[in-house]
Amino acid sequence: MRIVMIGAGYVGLVSAACLADLGHEVVCVEVDETKVAALKKGRIPIYERGLSELVLANQSASRLSFTANLNDAARAAHAIFIAVGTPALGEVGSADMRYVYDAARDIASVIEDFTVIVVKSTVPIGACDDVERIIGERVPRNRFAVVSNPEFLREGAAIEDFNQPDRVVIGVEDERARLVMAEIYEPLSSVRASILYTSRRSSEMIKYAANVFLAMKVTFINEIADLCERVDADVLEVSRGVGLDSCIGPKFLTPGSGFGGSCFPKDTLVLTKFAREAEAPIRLVETLVEVNEARMAAMARKVIAACDGSVVGKRIAVLGLTYKPGTDDMREAPSLVIVPKLQAAGAQIVAYDPAGMRTARSLLPGVQLAEYAYDCVEGADAAVVITEWDEFRALDLKRVRAALNQPIMVDLRNIYSIETMRSLGFRYFCIGRGFRYDERSAHPQVQEFSSRGVSRTAREDRPDAELSMPYSGDWTRIGIT
C-alpha cells in the first residue's frame, strides 16, 4: 500500500521505516527541508538502535522516501498518518495541538479519492473528532475516514516494539477504513500481534491509560524502595517477588530517581486535567505526579547526605544524563532536576553520557562534560549513577575506585552488587536496599532498624538522626530544599 507519514520526528521516522520494511511504499513528509536533505543522505537526527540501518536499507529498496511536498506525496495514497509532535503547553496539563490541526488542514487540500487519515500522534481524548471536523469542512465526508492508531514504542527498543508489538490498537468507525488498516498491519500477523479494534475515543483513552498505569508502577516501586530502606528490606528482592505474580508482571518495577521522558510526565498531566474537566478526577494520578516531582529532588538530597551532609566545593561525577538508556532524549530527565539542585548546594558537576552529551550541553549550563566515563570520575569526591547504561555496568570498578578522591558511589539505579562494592572499599549508597551496607557503616550513629521502625535509642538519644537517612527529616538543614 502507499502510505504517507507526516512528521519525521521520533514516532514518524520509526513508524515510516518499519512500515516500509513490512513492504509498503512509504513517503515521509517533513516541513524542514534541511532535515529532509539530511535524511535523504542517511543522516538520522535521533539516537535509536538499528534505525539508521533500517532507513538506509529501505531507501535503497525504494520503499522509503523523504520530501517536503505533501501534494506529490499524497497522490494515490491509501493512508496518511499524522505523526507530528504534541508538546506540553505552558498551561499545566495542556497538549499543543496546532501541529496536528495544521496537518489536518494540509491533508484536506490534497485528498482526491477515499483516504484513511490515521492519527498516530498522542492526542487528548476527542482529538480525532476535531481532525474529522477540520477535514470535513473542506472535503466531502465520503472521501475520507479518520482513525486513531496510538504508538506504544519504547525509546531504545522502538523497532522491536513495532515489529513484535504486545498489541496494535486501532480506533475506527468506518468499515472501509477498517479494511485498509487491516491490510497495513497484515504482515504483523506472522508474529501473532494482537490487533484490537475499538472506537476512536476508546483508542485515545487506551494510550493515556496505559502510559499512566506504567508511570504508577514506577512511582509505586519507588515508594516501596523508600520503605525498604527504613525497615532493612531489599527492594530488588521485593520487586522480583511482586513481579513474579502474573497479574502484575516484572516490567517497570525497577526503583530509581523517578520517571521522565516525552510521554509519562506529559501524559499524566494531560489525563489529570482532562479528568478534572470531565468532572471525574483521578486522585491516584494526581498524587503520583506530586510524588514523582518530589522524588527527583529527594535523589539530590540523597547525594548530599552521602557526602556527609555537604557538597560545597566538592566535585561530583554524574554518570548518565538521559532519562533512560538507549536514547539521547533528555526531555523531563531526572538529571535536569538532580544536577541543578546539586549545583545550587555548592557542587561542581562533571558529567558523562554515552548518547546525550550534545543535548546536555544547552540544558545543563555550568556542567563540565567529560569525553569518557573514566575521565568523568577522575579526581571526583563522589560518583553518582543516574542512568543505567550498560557501559556503566561494565566499568572497571577498581579503576573507578582509584580515580576517585573519595570512595563514594551513589547508585540511583542499583546497577552494582553491594558485596562487590564493599569488597572494593567503596562507601556505596543505593536505592531501597536497607541499611545492610553503607548507610550504617558510614554513619555509625544510626541505630539498627527493624520491621517496627527506628529503635527507641535512636529516637530518644539522637532526635536528629534522621539526617543520616535517605530522605526523611528537615533537609533544608543540609543546604537544599
Residue 325, in any domain of the structure: yes
Indicate whether 449 pLDDT > 80.
Answer: no
**Do both 415 and 370 map to the same domain?**
yes
**Do both 114 and 223 map to the same domain?**
no
Residue 299, in any domain of the structure: yes
**Do both 312 and 222 map to the same domain?**
no
pLDDT at 460: 32
User: Looking at residue 339, which CATH number applies to its domain?
Assistant: 3.40.50.720
Last residue of a domain, one of 290, 322, 351: 290
Indicate whether 318 pLDDT > 60.
Answer: yes
What is the three-state SS of 103-167?
HHHHHHCCCCCCEEEEECCCCCCCHHHHHHHHHHCCCCHHHEEEEECCCCCCCCCHHHHHHCCCE
Query: What average pLDDT does the segment 292-309 reach?
Result: 95
Who's near 287: CB < 8 A, 6+ residues apart? none
**Do both 235 and 128 map to the same domain?**
no
Q: How many other β-carbons are positioned within 10 Å of the β-carbon of residue 349?
A: 24
Nine-digit cell string for 393: 555496568
Exposure pattern of 383-394 as b/e (b: 16+ CB <10 Å)? bbbbbbbebbee
Indicate whether 75 pLDDT > 70.
Answer: yes
pLDDT (tens digit per residue) in 226-269: 999 999 999 999 999 999 999 999 999 999 999 998 888 889 98
Last residue of a domain, one of 267, 290, 313: 290
Indicate whether 457 pLDDT > 60.
Answer: no
Per the residue annotation, which of 263, 307, 376, 430 is the catalytic one?
263
Residue 415, in any domain of the structure: yes
Last residue of a domain, one of 258, 290, 322: 290
User: Looking at residue 263, which CATH number applies to its domain?
Assistant: 1.10.1040.10
Residue 367, in any domain of the structure: yes
**Do both 317 and 280 map to the same domain?**
no
Residue 203, in any domain of the structure: no
**Do both 220 and 350 map to the same domain?**
no
Residue 435, in any domain of the structure: yes
**Do both 11 and 146 map to the same domain?**
yes
Q: What's the burial of 382, exposed, middle or buried (CB within 10 Å: 0-12/13-18/19+)?
A: buried
**Do both 127 and 213 map to the same domain?**
no
**Do both 112 and 168 map to the same domain?**
yes
pLDDT at 193: 82
Q: Could you tell me the pLDDT band of residue 58, with boundaries at 50, 70 and 90?
A: very high
Indicate whether 444 pLDDT > 50.
Answer: no
pLDDT (tens digit per residue) in 321-336: 999 999 999 999 999 9
Residue 348, in any domain of the structure: yes
pLDDT at 190: 77
Number of separate domains in the chain: 3
263 labelled catalytic: yes
Supply the angle between the helices 127-136 and 200-231 in degrees, to the nearest 10. Answer: 150
Give residue 319's domain range.
295-478
pLDDT at 289: 86
Indicate whether 78 pLDDT > 80.
Answer: yes
**Do both 10 and 141 map to the same domain?**
yes
**Do both 124 and 151 map to the same domain?**
yes
Whole-structure pTM value: 0.84
Indicate whether 143 pLDDT > 60.
Answer: yes
Q: Could you tell me the pLDDT band of residue 90, with boundaries at 50, 70 and 90?
A: low
pLDDT (tens digit per residue) in 361-405: 999 999 999 999 999 999 999 999 999 999 999 999 999 999 999
**Do both 194 and 276 map to the same domain?**
no
